[in-house]
Structure formats: C-alpha cells, structure tokens
Chain A
Amino acid sequence: MTLVTDQEVLSPKTPKKSPSPWVIARRKFVKNKLAMISLIFLLIVIVVSFLAPYITTKDIVRVDFMKISLPPSSEHWLGTDTNGRDVFTRMLYAGRSSLTVGLGCMIFIVLIGTAVGAISGYFGGKIDQMLMRFTDFVLMFPFLVFCIVLNTILSGKISGLWTLIIVISLLMWGSVARIVRSRVLTEKENEYILAAQSIGCKPSKIIIKHLLPNVASTIIVQATLLMAVTIVAESSLSFLGLGVPADTPSWGNMLFEARNSDVLKDKLWMWVPPATAITLVILSINFIGEGLKDALNPKSRR
C-alpha cells in the first residue's frame, strides 16, 4: 500500500485508477447531510425496534386493569394505554412489525416487479404483450379497496404479518415492473448485450449478470420509496382496524385508539408517539431515497 503511494508521489503523471460508479455514488451519498442523518436515524429505529425484547421487559400482551390510561411517569415513560399496557414498550414492538411489513413488502415487490419487468423487456414480442397486459390489469385495481377485501379473505388463514405483506406485494408490483421493463428496453440495445448473445450466453445469464446490474440504480431508488409507501399502507389499514391483527402492536394499530374521541382529546401520550414515529420514519426514508437518486445519477453534480 505504501509502495503505491510512494510511486504516486514520485511520478504524479501515472494515471490513477478512476473510482467505480458505486464508489462515486457512495461518496456523493455520504456528503449529503440530510440523507446521512436520515439513514442514521432509520438504522437506530430499526436496531432499537428489532432488539425490543432485550431493551424492555414489560409485557405487551397482558391487560392490566390497575394501570389503565396512566399519564407518562418514571415507571411508564410514555404512559399506558386503555388496556393498561406500557406505551413505550408497545412503540418498540410496533416499530418491529411496521418495519417488517415495510421491508418484507419491499423485497417481494422488487423481486416480482424486477422478474416480470426484466423478462418482459428482454424477450419482447408476445411474452412482453401478455405480461404487460397482466401488469396493467393489476395496476387497475383501486389499491386500498382490494387490499381490504383480500386482507379480509386471507386473515386467519395465514398468520399475522404475512397476510398483509402478501396482499400489499400482490397489488403493488406493477409500477416496478413497468419501470424495470422500460429501463431494460433501452439497456438491451447496447452492444455488450449483443456481444454476450453472440458468444452464446443463456438469456437468464444475460439478464442477471449483464442487464440487472445496469438497471440496479433505478431499482434501488424505487425500492427505497416503496418501503415508505408500504409502511403508510400498512399503518393506514391497521388504523382502519383491517391490517395487522389487533394483538400484534403496530404504529397504525396504536393510532386506532385515537379514533376514540376521549383518547384523542385528553390522552395525548397514547397517539402522539406513534404518529410522530410514522411521520419521522417516512420522512427519513424519503430523504434517503432522494439522496440515493441524486448519488446514483451520474449527471448530478455534488
């Protein structure tokens, strides 16, 4: 290592290896303060939520009638809810389920959307037409309405959070498929794809090894923004009482209590924390998304 630097110092004219696009993107991202703060905040939220069982020892399930609706105190940092459960503890567990749904949906949506979009864009012709017709069909459903209907059908058959993850993913992959397809369509016209085809690469290998890495930047940005959208969808449905089952805390479920006007009016500690948490998490995800978009765009200065 030192040898190389010495050489560089001695002969400044030797060409330096130019950084890869990913390195450039990382440097740009790190310089973006808002995005970095958001990323750190989100990471803290994720770590704290997933370590919830180790951080607090309070019981989230047991109903305690002696402690109903207590205001914040040193024992219960954020007070207790109408069932006598500690709000702070529930906040952490709720974060876990909300983030699980967000991450789970993101992974599923990106997998389905990328697969459909890449196949459709690469092969073109009949396959493309069929897949895109199907995508248009799925995109046509009014999201919230079909979410509620599907969730009602599946709830009870598949346990807990999975119902919601599957339902949201099934209804949302369409936009990713469309974006990936249009990117693949332009990307596959490049010579390197022709070269790969001419030396006899299998289509699956061309798509995975050659096309997708070049489309990855678009997918990454989409995935980030999707996480925000799915978390909002999850909490909205839970708020309506039709999302995550009531025994699993989620930020939306906790806000469900605010539909009771007595809670909304006088018991701020029950609904302000989850409302703030959702807003801050969505805000930080959006900032990270903006930062990534900026960092991965080779045309952007900064």
Chain B
Amino acid sequence: MLQYTLRRFLSMIPLLLLISVVVFFLAKMMPGDPFAGEINPSNTNPQYIEEMREKLGYNDPIIVQYGRWVGKFIQGDFGKSTVYKKPAAEIIAQRIPNTIFLALTSLVFTYFFAFLMGMYAGRKPYTLGDNLIATYNYLALAIPSFVAGIVAIYFFSFKLGWFPFNGSVGVGIGEGTWAYYMSRMHHVLLPALILGLMGTASYTQFLRNDIIENSRKDFVRTARAKGTKESKIYNKHILRNSIIPIITYLGFDIATLISGAVITETIFTYPGIGALFLESVGRRDYAVMMSITMLLSFLTLFGNLVADILYGVVDPRIRLD
C-alpha cells in the first residue's frame, strides 16, 4: 500500500513538469508583455526599456527563461505580482484560507443533504418523497451554479435579507473576536449552501440506487429473518456497504470544488483563489495567474491520486499493483 502510494506520488512529477511547460508557454502566448509591470511606465525611452528587458532576462532564449521560472517555482519563488507589487506566493497564501473554508463548508453541506435524501429515497423508493427528490436532482443538474447563485442572492440577500452577498467578513470587525468568526460563518453560508446543494444530485442518486440494490441482497434478508429492526438494517448493515463507493468521490471533489469556486466566488465577490485568478487574468498579472494555474493543476492531480488510493483502502478487493 505504502509502496503503491509512493510510486503514484512519484509518477506525478513528470506530469507536473509537462503541465508546467504548457502553463509557461500559454503565459508566453498571452497578449501583452508579462514583464511590463517591472518596468517604470513613465519612462518611455526605448533604450531604458531594452536595458530593463535585458536585465530581467526577457531577451534570453525561451528555454532558458522556462528553466529559470521552474527553478524558482520549485524553491517557492512564484514571481512578483505586477498589480500588488508583492510576491505572488504571499498574495495567494492570503487568499487560500478563504477558498478552503468555503470548499470545506460546502462539502459538509453536500454530504449532509446527500445522505439525508439518498437514504430516504433508497429506503422508500418509488414513493412521493423519492419522486420529489428525483425531481430536485434533475433540477440541480440542470441549473448552472451561477444561475442558482444569482437567484439565491435575489431571494435570500435582497428580498429576505438573511445573508450578506459580498465579502468574506463584515466591515470593521476586529480579527480574532467571537463576532469576527460569526461574521465569517455568516458570509460563507450562502455560497457554501449553493455550491453544496448543487453538488448533491449525483451523490444522492448514487446512494439511492446502491441502497436499493443492497437491500435485495442475502445479508439483508438474513438480518430481517433474525428480527433486526428495520432502522438498524438500513442505518448499519446497508449504509456501511453503500458508503464505500461514495468515499472515493472525495478525491475528485477536491478539484471540482476549487475550480467551481471561480464562479461562486465571483458571484458573491468572495475574496478567494478563484476571484484572484479571474482578476489576474483580467489585469494581466502573469505571476499570479501562472501560480494559480499550477496550483489548481496540482490539486486536480492530487485529487485523482487520493481517489485512487481511497479505492484501495476502502475496498480491499481492488489490487493496487
């Protein structure tokens, strides 16, 4: 197991290098001059610009430039943001906790509602409740997350006034106080609910079908014959078997949630990685843009790895060689 994990981890390195090549060349192809921010814009003397370009290594062969970028990247130097005039790593580190907080909260919602609905629908299939849940699933799959987001803002923020619709914390609240944490929770709740509820559909459907399938198996009949309570059969015997495949979804969710954050964070103007990424694309802040792209690619890879490993952990029948 450990050996397999290590081997899979090592196999990520060439893929990451390939991705870094793609990201680097894409950034080179972006319109505009990636180093424009380093040069004093008021000085338009062509000689000065040429000098600065030479000094910043912009005239070197592209391979050399790539090598330099990767070398620095591995050492944790992600370059300097031309918009904020600060190291890109610092800006990203500032924003990351917000995104992770949002992703985790929405994950909790997803699992909570998916289990609730999936277990109910699986236990009472083909009833009114099951049909209602199925209808909800169809809707959740069809409504794009940004449409759900703006509708939610319209109802819950504007009409009912229950939730704030922008930022991650109220204005003028001191850090570290109780009110501060409550305010953060309050701000994250609506986006997390939207992300979470939209994500439940596939889980619910899967859990429902798996429970129905399992409830026809022999071990359930045995349990019934022994007089086990119906609730215990469903909550213990069946659920334990149906949870296995769901756990493996977790790995894929890591990447989906963080990429999905690009949209959600923009709608709720929530200061996370996704919003930062869009801003960096819009303002041609190449260092930040490249770093976030690399980061998200790494997370996708890592998520797939986690999914693969979890497969083996929860289901020993799958051989990992």
CA distance A145 to B288 in the complex (A): 13
Q: Is there contact, CB below 8 Å, between A142 and B300?
A: yes
Q: Return the chain B residue nearest A137 by Cβ.
A: B18
Q: Is there contact, CB below 8 Å, between B281 and A142?
A: no
B residues with a Cβ closer than 8 A to A are 15, 18-19, 22, 26, 29-31, 138-139, 141-147, 150-151, 153-154, 158, 165, 255, 258-260, 262-263, 266-267, 277-278, 281, 289, 292-293, 296-297, 299-301, 304
Please report the total number of A residues contacting B with Cβ < 8 Å. 35
CA distance A264 to B146 in the complex (A): 13
Q: Return the chain A residue nearest B301 by Cβ.
A: A140
Tell me the smallest distance from the CB of A150 to a CB of chain B, in Å.
7
Q: Is there contact, CB below 8 Å, between B262 and A240?
A: yes
In the complex, chain B residues whose CB is within 8 Å of the CB of A236: 144-146, 263
CA distance A137 to B281 in the complex (A): 23
Q: Is there contact, CB below 8 Å, between A141 and B297?
A: yes
Q: A145-B292, A145-B293, A153-B30 are in contact. Are A265 and B154 (CB under 8 A)?
A: yes
Q: Is there contact, CB below 8 Å, between B19 and A282?
A: no
Answer whether residue A46 sits at the interface, using C-beta atoms and an 8 A cutoff. Answer: no
Q: Is there contact, CB below 8 Å, between B26 and A283?
A: no
A residues with a Cβ closer than 8 A to B are 137, 140-146, 148-150, 152-153, 156, 228, 232, 235-236, 239-240, 242, 255, 258-259, 261, 264-265, 271, 275, 278-279, 282-283, 286-287
Q: Is there contact, CB below 8 Å, between A149 and B293?
A: yes
Q: Which of A144, A153, A261 has the most CB of B within 10 A?
A: A144
Q: Is there contact, CB below 8 Å, between B266 and A240?
A: yes
In the complex, chain B residues whose CB is within 8 Å of the CB of A275: 147, 150-151
Tell me the smallest distance from the CB of A87 to a CB of chain B, in Å.
16
Q: Is there contact, CB below 8 Å, between B147 and A144?
A: no
Q: List 30 A-B contacts (CB under 8 A).
A: A137-B15, A140-B15, A142-B293, A142-B297, A143-B259, A145-B297, A146-B293, A148-B277, A152-B31, A232-B144, A235-B144, A235-B146, A236-B263, A239-B146, A240-B266, A255-B146, A255-B150, A259-B266, A261-B165, A264-B153, A265-B154, A271-B150, A279-B139, A279-B144, A282-B142, A282-B143, A283-B138, A283-B139, A286-B138, A286-B142
In the complex, chain B residues whose CB is within 8 Å of the CB of A235: 144, 146
Q: Is there contact, CB below 8 Å, between A264 and B138?
A: no
Tell me the smallest distance from the CB of A257 to a CB of chain B, in Å.
10
Q: Is there contact, CB below 8 Å, between A242 and B297?
A: no
In the complex, chain B residues whose CB is within 8 Å of the CB of A140: 15, 19, 297, 300-301, 304
Q: Return the chain B residue nearest A281 by Cβ.
A: B142
Q: Return the chain A residue nearest B22 by Cβ.
A: A141
In the complex, chain A residues whose CB is within 8 Å of the CB of B297: 140-142, 145
In the complex, chain A residues whose CB is within 8 Å of the CB of B289: 149
Tell me the smallest distance from the CB of A146 to a CB of chain B, in Å.
7
Q: Is there contact, CB below 8 Å, between B263 and A142?
A: no
Main secondary structure of the interface of B (DSSP, over half): helix
Tell me the smallest distance from the CB of B204 to a CB of chain A, in Å.
15
Q: Return the chain A residue nearest B141 by Cβ.
A: A286
Q: Return the chain B residue nearest A256 by Cβ.
A: B146
Q: Is there contact, CB below 8 Å, between A142 and B146?
A: no
In the complex, chain B residues whose CB is within 8 Å of the CB of A287: 138
CA distance A232 to B260 in the complex (A): 13
CA distance A193 to B142 in the complex (A): 40
In the complex, chain B residues whose CB is within 8 Å of the CB of A137: 15, 18
Tell me the smallest distance from the CB of B194 to a CB of chain A, in Å.
14
Q: Is there contact, CB below 8 Å, between B31 and A156?
A: yes
CA distance A140 to B141 in the complex (A): 23
CA distance A111 to B139 in the complex (A): 30
Q: Return the chain B residue nearest A266 by Cβ.
A: B158
17 additional contacts (CB under 8 A) given A240-B278, A282-B143: A140-B300, A142-B259, A142-B300, A145-B259, A145-B293, A148-B262, A149-B293, A152-B30, A153-B26, A236-B146, A239-B263, A255-B146, A258-B150, A259-B266, A271-B150, A279-B147, A287-B138
